[in-house]
Chains A and B, each alone.
Chain A
Amino acid sequence: MINFNYTIWILLIPFLMFIFLGLAGHKYFPKLSGILGTSGLAIITILSYVTAYKYFFVSEKIEGAYQKIIAFNFTWLQFTDKLHIDIGALLDPISVMMLVVISTVSLMVHIYSLGYMKDEKGFERFFSFLSLFSFSMLGLVLATNIFQMYIFWELVGVSSFLLIGFYYQKPSAVRASKKAFIVTRFADAGFLIGILILSFNTKTFDFISLTNPAGSAITQGAGIGFLGLSIMTWSMIFVFMGGVGKSAMFPFHIWLPDAMEGPTPVSALIHAATMVVAGVYLVARMFPIYAIAAPVALNVVAYIGAFSSLFAAVIACTQTDIKRVLAYSTMSQIGYMMLALGVSGYGGHEGLGYMASMFHLFTHAMFKALLFLGAGAIIHAVHSNYMTDMGGLRKYLPVTHITFLIACLTIAGIPPLSGFFSKDEILAAAFHSNKILFAVEYAVAGLTAFYMFRLYFSVFWGRDTHYHHTPQEAPATMTIPLIVLAIGSVVTGFIPFNKLVTSDGKILESELELAVAIPSVLIGLLGIGIAYVMYRKENSISDKLAARFKYSYKWAFNKFYIDEVYLFVTKKIIFRYISEPVAWFDRHIVDATMNGIAAVTQSVSFRIRGFQSGQLQKYAFVFITGAIMLVILLIYMWK
């Protein structure tokens, strides 16, 4: 058995860095804090890679399956003998893979931020928040039990809140951070209910005993039913609700586009590559329960994933804010991952979707971080978020241009880039289990290629915009992460995921299915072709189309009015019919009682205030006389 004890440092380093930079950074080394944070993360990255190497290639398999290893575990809160909350690190293929993803992307974002955030106020605050985020995200993926995951899940939410609201003087950023926090918090309430139901039924928090396919949790946990579904199914649907919130799936997606108010590196790290896939990770973590004990809940996962991916892709085609396009594309890609999990089965060839989902999570983290960082470089150069202000940038930003093109080709699924392989696995998995979902995803693949290249062509080609000052290529700290991630996007497709990350830890035999791969490449190319015709040169095709389909365009442009629906429900229904009566009760019954007590006290005290003369010596006299009298009393009583 190999010793993985050192993994505790993966959690400790960012946590200490957060405290250190947060407390001391501002005063002592505002300039150095970026370097410190980045080097701390570099150490974590090295540790993660070492862990991944040792886990996948050195530690022995049992019956050809990767084992789940508890690196360390200690009781954190002991309520009773049976009820206790542990903190620990669980190593299994997905958590090790997530370690690699998080540390890599986070390191790139740290390096990038050194350049991007250079002259910002609160530089050290930014890095300490980034460390907090890394800590919470790593703790989330390493969690040994569902409650630890929940704790870190909330911590991730808090750091996301802090980072979205980083520009706290900007009202829109403040609004966005509040919105993100409240929406995800609302969804997390479902998660908590799910955890409680689940652990009440199974008497354990521990992932290993929960997800053991032969264990009592899965075989006997079904329990009594409610509304025609078993308790297990209900609890898994509630748990998935938390995932829906964090991963910005319909209908809790409304916070993600607004979250783009945060600094761009944050969008790349949190709202594209790592935090938003926490929901996917959650489902993958609980996957044996979903697949074996709660297939209905798994269907919910699949349909929500598919719907979200289509929904987001349609909206992405109409948006003009470059970061919002990317945000919707993130939502759409996460929908893919959810769908892949949803159509998957446990073990053997049935587990293709699971593997595909994890594979896509991995490649998506690379290319989406690249896209966001590229978008950051563009915004940095142009000082605008809107595609309408851009055009012809390929001349000014050569490095950004090339890397952005690679990322766009990757997300469009053009071979031999990584997105092609992972998306193909997902489509194949969908093809084998549900033809309708496959059709939806097939259409989304085309839409994805279209809106990404719409973005690409109108930013880098299109009309030649005149800029007030010539846009300049970003400094090396910003371009190096772009290049590294571009290389990552190209090569990660060749990682043999079917041998490493599968639902049951065994090798999954899968090969490229040409029947799926060729049409998916073709529709990708079709999408690119349409985008080329419409946006390569300045022309009015897009405007004509928008005018032709005026109403549907308007719907999509306004994000199908989901935000307005939320506002209507909260303001017109919840506030008016629930909050206002409650507020009235609070003001006129609860507060009035308290005010009455206060008034009585006040009138009494007005009467007796004469005793308080303010002369200390009078008080002292009373006190001493009393003391002497007590003494005399005591002496005589004694006798």
Chain B
Amino acid sequence: MLPRIAVIALNTFREAIRNRVLYLLLIFAVAMISFAQILSLLTVGSEEKIIKDFGLASIDIFGVLTSVFIGIGLVSREIERRTVYTLLAKPIHRFEFVLGKFGGLTITLLVNTTVMALWFFLILALKGIFDPNLIVAVFLLYLQFLLITALAVLFSCLSSPILSSIMTLALYVIGHLLWSFDLLKAKIVSPAGRVLCDVLYYVLPNLGNFDIKGPVVHGLPIGPGVVGAALLYLLLYGSAVLAGACAIFQGKELQ
């Protein structure tokens, strides 16, 4: 099973690196990280904070866009181009196909994030700045990309690329706003509404678990177990999403 998933993953990676969108996003990310250095000249006070903020935000934004724009086409494009039939005609399970596709984008994102991070660290090094916590922050961003990719793959199995991208981006937005359910709950009088807030809070993906940009930029200590908890959350939530994607693809009528 694993060699088959690996072959699909490797081919998906090869396909992804031929995608011009990937390079366009990478160029924009590198340009934005570099732009931080120019922007930092306009500040009064710490330039370091501006460079770190811009660097981490660029990696975050362009990593998410890569996950979404490449992830949404992974399954649906194969169906649209009918290349999926060639693959499924071979002795592979449908879930292996989905997992292989996810694995391929995981490798693509790893390469993409590494390139952006290396450029970011090079710019910091030129300023004489090195903070090992930034590596932790970038690693957590990568974990976030994996969760977004899993969601993109799920929606890719469900619907068209445009709808998939809208739904994935909507979940990205919601995932960063889950903290506001607490505020909403405080305003709701009805017990049923409050329970619904709680249910939504735990059911929707909490991307706040992967965001330590603020504390890292301000040099604050990262709480113990933050990385472990994020990894565990990704493992469980990501597995649930991918299991759902496999189930949907398994039952999909391919004509």
A and B form one complex:
no
| A residues at B contact (CB < 8 Å) | none
